[in-house]
Amino acid sequence: MNNGIRQHATRPPIDDIAYLTRSEHRNQTLVALTEGPRSRSELRELTGVSSSTVRRTLDEFENRTWIRKEGYQYVATCLGEAIASGMEDLLNQVETVRKLSDVCHLLPDEVIELTLEMSSETTVTAADHDAPYRPVSRFRSLLLETDQFQFLGVDLALLEPCREEFRRRILDGMQAEIINPPDAARYIISTYPELCTDILESGNLNPLVHDDVPTYGISFFDERIAVNDYDPGGAKADVLIDTNTRTAHDWAESVYTTYKSEARPLEYQHLIG
């Protein structure tokens, strides 16, 4: 073990994290080297930093045994690949935490825990001042791609803005099931009678009602599930979290099945009477 390697081996792990994150090009360089061999000139062009900076970075990486030299090129070692992967997971989790920081109080703990646990496989779409309908846009894109759709909760925040797309998908053959509270079903039917008639007559929608749906919404898009918050005052969604992980799907399926077992068929004429 040379002096450089020995010196780095005795430092606390936080020093390596600090070194890698102190300049953006360092993590970018290491990730690039996990994808295949690169020359110094290629890394300089990729990162936009000077030749001397690339040289110093590569020297530091070699001292940490994160990379090795192969001719005039460099490539990540298995240790470097592990570091790059760990940093990617950490950065994904930090980004997820930032997106959830303003809305975490609106969602159940199990949703927050699942999101953080699988942050690298989960998409968090949060509204902000400049883009208040970002969650709706994400919901619409998922709706347009699915053949099987299910929803539990109050659908006004997401489905109402996407009502025309929902009608087209239903009439095109998408199979759907919605569990709504009676008040929400009554509002939709009375506000959009023609749309509801078209959808219900298609036979592709199974509408159910439940008197006590959760304070959040659960959507199923084929194999992908999504969870949204619901603001009854503003009837809007501030965040939509979607993923295709098995753990999240099993949780959502368990919740949905419980509510469905307690739900009853929508009595269309009764609600509009």
Which has the higher per-residue pLDDT, 96 or 261? 261
Residues in CB range of 47: below 8 A, 6 or more apart: 25, 28, 29, 32, 54
- pLDDT for the residue 10: 65
Instruction: Please determine, for residue 273, whether its predicted confidence score (pLDDT) is greater than 60.
Output: no
> How confident is the model over 66-100, as pLDDT tens digits?
999 999 999 999 999 999 998 888 888 888 788 77
The phi, psi pair for 209, rounded to 5°, reads -130, 150
Q: The dihedral of CA 68, 70, 76, 79: what is its sign?
A: negative
Residue 90's pLDDT is what? 85
Check: CB of residue 222 under 8 Å from CB of residue 190.
Answer: no
Q: In what order do the strands lie in the sheet with 122-126?
A: 122-126, 239-243, 224-229, 216-221, 148-152, 175-180, 205-209, 264-265
Q: What architecture (CATH level 2) is domain 113-272?
A: 2-Layer Sandwich (3.30)
Percent pLDDT > 70 in the chain is 92
Q: What is the mean pLDDT of residues 150-175?
A: 93
CATH number of the domain at 3-85, out of 3.20.20.80, 3.30.360.10, 1.10.1040.10, 1.10.10.10?
Answer: 1.10.10.10
pTM of the complete model: 0.73
Question: 3-85 and 113-272: same fold?
Answer: no
Which tens digits make up the pLDDT trace of 163-212?
Answer: 999 999 999 999 999 999 999 889 899 899 999 899 999 999 999 999 99
- H or E stretch at 177: strand 175-180
Domain extent listing, the chain: 3-85, 113-272
Distance CA(215)–CA(111), nearest Å, equals 12
7: pLDDT confidence band, cut at 50, 70 and 90?
low
